[in-house]
Structure 1
Amino acid sequence: MFCGIDWAEDHHDIALVTDHGSLAAKLRITDDVEGLNQLLALLAEHGDTPEEPIPVAIETSRGLLVSCLRATGRPVYAINPMAVARYRERHSVARKKSDHLDAMTLANILRTDMAAHRPLPADSDLARAVAVLARAQQDAVWDRVQAANKLRSHLREYYPALLAAFAGTREGICAPAARALLAAAPTPAQAARLTAAQLRSLLKRAGRTRGINAEAQRLKAILRADYLHQPPLVEDAMGRQALALLRQLDAACASCADLETAAVDSLDQHPDAEILTSFPGLGKLTAARVLGEIGDDRSRFADARALKAYAGSAPVTRASGKSTFVIHRRVKNQRLAAAGYSWAFSALTASPGARIHYDRRREAGDRHIAAQRNLFNRLIGCLHHCLATRQLYSEAIAFPNPTTVPDSQAA
């Protein structure tokens, strides 16, 4: 018996299909406790037992229904909606569609091609919590970048002095000093009237502890220089808009910091944290992102090649006749691939072997991105081995017999 669930916001359509493809039962349930109990009762009527649970196919991997089904210990398969659309065409060329037919299609996918799909991993609750926090922190970083870009674009139209004052800093207008200055003086006219004492007070309030006097004098000179100006009324109105955008940026910055702390704290409680952070270039926040995407279910990836394909670091070969192309993988876990790029980039200065490996790929003709991806492919393969064998990273094993050491590393 195979179960397919067509998920919706307030209700779900259920279809049970036998191993011969005939419909055994169908049901529409609500998205609440009563609906879940009806589903479990229907499965029990058709032979569902704790020893041999009926597998379930659904088009999402999230939600309360999926979480509750996973808690029962049954295999839950999250099928890509695009794949479901292709399977639907196998049974009908008229392009007809309904919730019940989609539920039957999902059940038939398990009946015919269960081996080609993977159930949701049996990750621990702690690993899933790390995933939630790490993904939320990454989303907050993207929101912060978007909010900063909006504010920067707005300031360029009427407040070039503020942009010039923090153009050379690492954080730019996201810096606490920049945000404190903009909150105190949202227009160029107000900023030009700030005294050195007021600027020192703003810098202290923003958390600066060193070089306050010199920084205050530098900001004073920049803010009082000659710039183009909007008409006074327009400038005041644009200052009000800047304050509104600043509040969004402040909220995004606070969310980033709070979620980063929570993600790192959760990672420290996980038994894999010591192994992950033993790798060069893999800080705690990046390690939390990596753990959140790969989980701690060791049966999820059969070997290192499967993990590399999931991360997008392994290339794809397309062969047809006499033509053979080897290209980078586009279908991948985008979050893990992004974390892998940061990991590989940081490893260049933390690992002599990683730097030699990168330089060797560059000399072979790879561009920077390709060489970084190849290095990430090597590192994540080592990570799979270390997690499987429960051992820490070893530079001598990961990069044996280095031929040369870069001058920066030797120094």
Structure 2
Amino acid sequence: MEPQVFLGIDVGKSDHHATAVNHDGKVVYDKPLPQSEPKIQELLKDLATKYGELLVVVDQPKTIGALVIAVAQQLGIQVAYLPGLTMRRVADLHPGQAKTDARDAYIIAETARTMPHTLRGITIAEEQIAELSMLCGFDDDLAAQLTQVRNRLRGLLTQIHPTLERVLGPRLAHPAVVDVLGRYPTPAALQRAGRGHVRTRLKKLAPRMAARLTDEIFAALAEQTTVVTGTNAAEHIVGRLAAQLQQLTQQRADIETEILKVVDAHPLTEVLTSMPGIGVRTAARILTEVVGKDFKSAAHLASYAGIAPVTRQSGTSIRGESPSRRGNKVLKRVLFLSAFASIKGDPASRAYYDKKRAEGKRHNQAVIALARRRSDVLFAMLRDGTFYESRPAQLVPAA
């Protein structure tokens, strides 16, 4: 049914602002809305009773906007969201430059009324997808913290012993290196331990490279005999940072186990992983970014992911296509990496990649073109619940 009233909600942590406009553009409601289920229910029921079919539009469907969406869906009310970048551009078309919650809520409602094509649909979220989204979000946070701690640790090693950092810094992702730094956090501690103890320590977690890495460590230690100011203080810091890396790494491993359990239980996992280049972790990212959103066509999905080319034309001087700089960056990265992985295992993907390379495209351009082609197949697979079917590879004609 066509909406008779459009409720724009500028979401906030403790309070939202709600503005409703009717089909003729008249404001029928404009007040703050507490982040409270009873208050949200009361408003939605009241508007639906007074004006008929209601469309609720938010500017952020997750985190602080999740409760509004859930309550509306529970009441059987249509929901949608207006992407933030689109909202800001539409805001430039409205008079005034003030940035207030009331103005933003009105712009959301008015945009829903006058430009419905700018909205993104929201379907009822599955419990598994909601759980997976939280787990993946926490995994992203842990990954960022790991990168931060590793960079800090490399900075300290560079300060007190640059040569040693060149040996250990690039290997900080290996548990054996972190373990050794936790036990012997300074060059002096490594020297005191000696080759035998260091090699024995490394063998516990890295039996193959223990001897080679021990030789590299002591060769680096021999290149610098000067003790840099602050080395003694660094001993306590390096040890603590190494302990943090171990804890964060273990947490990521635990979260990964939980993610894999949820993904394995989802009915679409087998569909997704049937496509070459998509593993369980890649499927998890696709599920969190795609399921729950309403894509009308394969082109809509490609545009949302930011892998659809953008046409630029102005008179006769400017004419061509260029890669999009917009879209969902997480989904874009996942589709790019899965397309790249498929080149080795799927003859059809390899043939298409070679064809694009023969046309003069660079590597990244050819992979993006392949990702765009694969997104059409992915859309059909998700829509119909069908498994991937490889087509015979078409050989590129010789030049």
- TM value normalised by structure 2: 0.87
* CA gap 1:216/1:283 in 2 versus in 1, 3 angstroms: same
Alignment of 1:299-378 (within 5 A): 300-322=294-316, 323-378=318-373
> 1:55-66, aligned counterparts within 5 Å?
55-62=55-62, 63=64, 64-66=67-69
Q: Distance in 1 between matches of 2:225 and 2:195?
A: 23
Per the alignment, residue 268 of structure 2 pairs with 272
Report the more deviating stretch, 60-69 or 106-115: 60-69
The verdict on how the C-alpha distance between 1:316 and 1:353 changes in structure 2, with shifts beyond 3 A counting, is: same
Question: Deviation at 1:131?
Answer: 2.9
Q: Secondary structure at the match of 2:122?
A: coil
> Are residue 389 (structure 1) and residue 393 (structure 2) matched?
no
Matches of 1:197 and 1:127, distance apart in 2: 50
Matches within 5 A, 1:1-400: 1-47=5-51, 52=53, 54-62=54-62, 63=64, 64-92=67-95, 94-160=96-162, 162-166=164-168, 172-203=171-202, 205=204, 207-208=205-206, 210-211=207-208, 214=211, 218=215, 221-222=218-219, 224-231=221-228, 234-295=230-291, 300-322=294-316, 323-395=318-390, 397=391, 399-400=392-393
In structure 1, runs of 5+ residues without a counterpart are 405-411
The CA distance in 2 between the partners of 1:263 and 1:67, in whole Å, is 23
User: Contact 2:6–2:21 (CA<8 Å) still a contact in 1?
Assistant: yes
Q: Which moved more, 1:175-184 or 1:259-268?
A: 259-268
User: What is the rounded CA distance, in whole Å, between the counterparts of 1:328 and 1:212 in structure 2?
Assistant: 43
How far apart are residue 182 of structure 1 and its match? 0.6
Count of residue correspondences? 390
In 2, Cα distance between the equivalents of 1:102 and 1:337?
Answer: 28
What is the CA-CA distance between 1:161 and the residue it aligns to?
5.2
C-alpha separation in 2, matches of 1:21 and 1:217: 74
Mapped to 1, the partners of 2:360 and 2:119 lie a distance apart of 37
Contact 2:160 2:231 in 1 (8 A): yes
Amino acid at match of 1:7: V
Contact 2:122–2:292 (CA under 8 A) maintained in structure 1: no
Structure 2 residue ranges without an equivalent (≥5)? none
CA contact (8 A) 1:196 1:220 kept: no
Conserved? CA contact 1:165–1:222, under 8 Å: no
Q: 1:115 to 1:239 in 2, by over 3 A?
A: same
Q: Deviations over 1:361-399 (max 9, x none)?
A: 22221111111111212222222222333332232x2x5
Q: TM-score, normalised by structure 1?
A: 0.84
SS for the counterpart of 1:55 is strand
- Kept after mapping to 2: 8 A contact 1:148/1:249: yes
After the TM superposition, which of the residue ranges 152-161 and 222-231 deviates more from structure 2? 222-231
In the aligned structure 2, how far is the partner of 1:162 from the partner of 1:258?
A: 31
Structure 1 residue 215, shift from structure 2 partner: 5.1
